[in-house]
Structure 1
Amino acid sequence: MDSEELIKKWLKNELSDEEKQMFDSFDDAHLNNYIIEKAQVFKASNFSEINNFDVFKVQYNQQKIPVKKLNWINPLLKIASIIVIALGVYFTFFFNQRVQIETLASNKESIELPDHSLVMLNASSHLEYNKRTWKDHRKINLDGEAFFKVSKGQTFDVITNQGVVTVVGTQFNVKDRKNYFEVKCFEGIVKVTSDTISRFLKAGDTYKILNGKFSEGKIISPVPNWTENMSVFEAIPIKEVFAELERQYDIEINYNSRSNRLFTGGFVHDNLDNALNTITQPMNLTYEMSSSNLVVIHEKEN
C-alpha cells in the first residue's frame, strides 16, 4: 500500500494495527498527529445559513447601499427657486406698496396722504391705496365712511362697492355701508357714478342711494356732523340709525321689530344714555342694558 492511500485511511480512522505501524514509521507521522489533535479543539466562527441561492440574492439586494447619483438639475432648480422668492419679496416691498388703514368700532382716525390730502376715517371703516403709484394715480378703495380734503392735482378717485367718486381738489364725504351709499360735497365739484346714475355735485349737494332708491338733497353744515362727534339723519330707516349707534359705541343692539320706520334727528358719540334717549323717545321705544355691551330695544305698549 502506498503512502497516499495509507494517509486517506488514517484520516478516516480505518487503519488496521499493521497499517498503523506502517503509518507511524513515516517521517511526517508526528506532524500529522499534531494537526489532528489541534483540529479537534478548533471552533469555527458563527455563520448564517442560506437555504438556497434565491434567498441569498434577496437578502443581498436588501443590504445593498444605494449609490447616490449626481444630478446637475437639482442645484439649478434650487437657485431658480431662490431667485423667484427674492424677486417676489422685492416686488412686494418696492413695487406693491399698498397701505391699509382700518378703524375699529367707536374709533376714528385722521390720515395724511402722500400728496398731503387729508382723510378722516369714521368708525368701523377700511381704506386702502398704493403708495408707489400715488403720484400718477390718486386712487383710494373705501369700505365704510370717510371725509376727504383733497389737495389740488390730478384726478382723485374714491372707489367703493356701490360707486365711484371722482374729484380734482375739493372736500367731500363718502358713506358706503350695506344698502346705503351717500356722497356729500362741501367744497368744489364732485362727480359720482353708481351703476347707471351719474351726477356732478356742487358744494351743498348730496347724492344718496338707500335700499336701491336714488335721491338728491341739500346740506347746510360746513363739515360732516360725525367729524364733530355727532351723527345726524334725515328720514333714515331706524335700523340704519341703530347700526351707526353700534359702530360709534362698540355695542350690540337687539331690535326685533319688522317695521321700517324712518328717523330724523341725531345722537352724540360721547354719552350712550343720552344717545339712546334721543333715538328711542321720539320713536316711542324703550331700552334696557342687559350687559356691558348689549342693548335691548322694545316697542312701548299702547
Structure 2
Amino acid sequence: MEKDYLLKKWLLNGLTEEEQRTFDALEDAPLYKAIAASASHFKASHVSSPEAFETLKEKLPKQETAIKKVSWKKTLLQIASVLVIGLAVYYGFFNTQATHIKTVAAQKTTISLPDNSTVLLNTASTITYHEDSWEKERELQLDGEAFFKVAKGKKFDVKTSQGIVSVLGTQFNVKQRGTLFEVSCYEGIVQVSYAKTVKKLLAGDTFRIDAGIEYSGTTNHEAPQWTNNRSSFKSVKFQYVLEELERQYNIKVVYEGDKQTRFFTGAFVQDNLENALQSVTAPLGLTYTFEGTNKVIILD
C-alpha cells in the first residue's frame, strides 16, 4: 500500500519532501526513474521524402549487403518487459476504482468507512471515496446530505461543489442541495472552506450559505433531525421544503406560488404523508389536493 501510494504520487509529481526521501529509499526507485527518463526521450523519427532517398541511393557505391542474424526471442522478451511495466503502471495506479454509494428517493443508508468512521446518508444523496489511498488522505465527495461520526485520526475532508468541511474527530452534518450549502457541528470543531472564506464551527453552531447569502445559527440537538425521521427547517426558502418532501416520499409536488421569496420554519415527519403535508401547508395558509397517488397540488 505504502509503495503503491508513493509511486502513484511520484508519477504525478505530487510527493512532499518527506515522501520523496521515502520514495528514493525504495529498492526499485532507480528502475522507475530509468523508465521515466527513457520515456521522456521518446519522439517520432524524422522521415525523409522518397525522392531524397532515391537520389542518395544513386550516389552510393553498390556493395554486398551484410546479413546479420537477429535474436527475435531476445527482442520479443525486451518488448514484453516494457509492456508489462507499462501495463502495471497504468492499471495499478491510474485505473483504481472509486467507491460510489448512492441512495434514491425515500431511502437512507449507513456506511462504514475504512477507518471505522460512519456516515448516515440521507435520501437522494451520493458519496464517493478511494479506499486505496484512505490511510493517507481521508477525504470523500458528497452530493446531497450526510451525517458523519468521524474516528479520531488524521484530517478528514468532506468535499462538495459549494465548499469543503475539514475535521479531525467529531460529529457533524453537511447538506449540499443545488446552491444551498449547510453545515452543523454536533461535537468537536469543524472548519468550513468556501470561495476564499474559512469559518470554524464549535459544537452547537450551524452555518448556511445560499446563492451568496450567509446565515449563522445554533442547534441544541445531538444529531440532525432527519436521522430520527423528521425533516426540520429554519428560515429556508419554501422551494427547499417542497423538494425535501419529494425526496422523502418519492412524490411530485406542484406549487405555482412564489417558492423563492416565501420562507418556512418548521418540520415534517418522514413516515406519514398526510401529516407531513398538513405540517407544511397549514402554517402558511395553504391547502393541498392529490392528483393520482404520487402527485400533490399545493394551492394558495
Q: For residues 25-79 of structure 1, give each alpha carbon's deviation from its aligned partner in whole angstroms, at most 9, with x where no partner exists.
A: xxxxxxxxxxxxxxxxxxxxxxxxxxxxxxxxxxxxxxxxxxxxxxx9xx99x97
Q: How far apart, CA to CA, are the structure 2 residues paired with 1:154 and 1:177?
A: 28
Q: Which amino acid aligns with 2:271?
A: D
Asked if residue 191 in structure 1 is aligned to residue 221 in structure 2, the reply is no
Aligned to 2:239: 239
Q: How far apart, CA to CA, are the structure 1 residues paired with 2:218 and 2:101?
A: 30
Q: How far apart, CA to CA, are the structure 2 residues paired with 1:85 and 1:288?
A: 61
Q: Which amino acid aligns with 2:291?
A: S
Comparing 79-88 and 134-143, the one that deviates more:
79-88
Pair 1:205–1:294, CA change in 2 (3 A): same
Q: Which amino acid aligns with 1:230?
A: R
Q: How far apart, CA to CA, are the structure 1 residues paired with 2:252 and 2:211?
A: 22
Aligned to 1:290: 291
Correspondence list, 1:166-185, <5 A: 166-185=166-185
Q: How far apart, CA to CA, are the structure 1 residues paired with 2:83 and 2:211?
A: 52
Aligned to 2:107: 107
Q: How far apart, CA to CA, are the structure 1 residues paired with 2:88 and 2:140?
A: 29
Asked if residue 268 in structure 1 is aligned to residue 269 in structure 2, the reply is yes
Q: How far apart, CA to CA, are the structure 2 residues paired with 1:254 and 1:181?
A: 24
Pair 1:135–1:86, CA change in 2 (3 A): closer
**Which structure has the bigger radius of gyration?**
1
Deviation at 1:91, TM superposition (A): 4.3
Aligned to 2:164: 164
- Secondary structure of the residue that 1:282 maps to in structure 2? helix
Asked if residue 281 in structure 1 is aligned to residue 282 in structure 2, the reply is yes
Q: Pairwise CA RMSD of aligned residues?
A: 2.1
Q: How far apart, CA to CA, are the structure 2 residues paired with 1:166 and 1:197?
A: 13
Deviation at 1:179, TM superposition (A): 1.6
Listed as ranges, the gaps of 5+ residues in structure 1 are 1-71
Correspondence list, 1:202-241, <5 A: 202-241=202-241
Structure 1 moving runs of 4+ over 4 Å: 78-92
Scaled by the length of structure 1, the TM-score of the pair is 0.69
Listed as ranges, the gaps of 5+ residues in structure 2 are 1-71
Deviation at 1:294, TM superposition (A): 1.0
Q: Which amino acid aligns with 1:166?
A: S
Deviation at 1:256, TM superposition (A): 1.2
- Secondary structure of the residue that 2:191 maps to in structure 1? strand
Deviation at 1:258, TM superposition (A): 2.5
Deviation at 1:266, TM superposition (A): 0.3
Pair 1:186–1:280, CA change in 2 (3 A): same
Q: Which amino acid aligns with 1:269?
A: Q
- Secondary structure of the residue that 2:244 maps to in structure 1? helix
Q: How far apart, CA to CA, are the structure 1 residues paired with 2:299 and 2:89?
A: 59
Q: How far apart, CA to CA, are the structure 2 residues paired with 1:81 and 1:274?
A: 67
Q: Which amino acid aligns with 2:134?
A: W
Aligned to 1:148: 148
Aligned to 1:131: 131
Deviation at 1:97, TM superposition (A): 3.4
Q: Which amino acid aligns with 1:293?
A: N
The number of residues matched between the two structures is: 223
Q: How far apart, CA to CA, are the structure 1 residues paired with 2:258 and 2:175?
A: 25
- Secondary structure of the residue that 2:120 maps to in structure 1? strand
Q: How far apart, CA to CA, are the structure 1 residues paired with 2:251 and 2:90?
A: 42
Aligned to 1:6: none
Q: Which amino acid aligns with 1:266?
A: A
Scaled by the length of structure 2, the TM-score of the pair is 0.70
Q: How far apart, CA to CA, are the structure 2 residues paired with 1:257 and 1:138?
A: 44
Q: How far apart, CA to CA, are the structure 1 residues paired with 2:277 and 2:82?
A: 60
Q: Which amino acid aligns with 2:294?
A: N
Q: How far apart, CA to CA, are the structure 2 residues paired with 1:129 and 1:220?
A: 31
Q: How far apart, CA to CA, are the structure 2 residues paired with 1:157 and 1:140?
A: 7
Deviation at 1:196, TM superposition (A): 2.3
Q: How far apart, CA to CA, are the structure 2 residues paired with 1:274 and 1:211?
A: 31
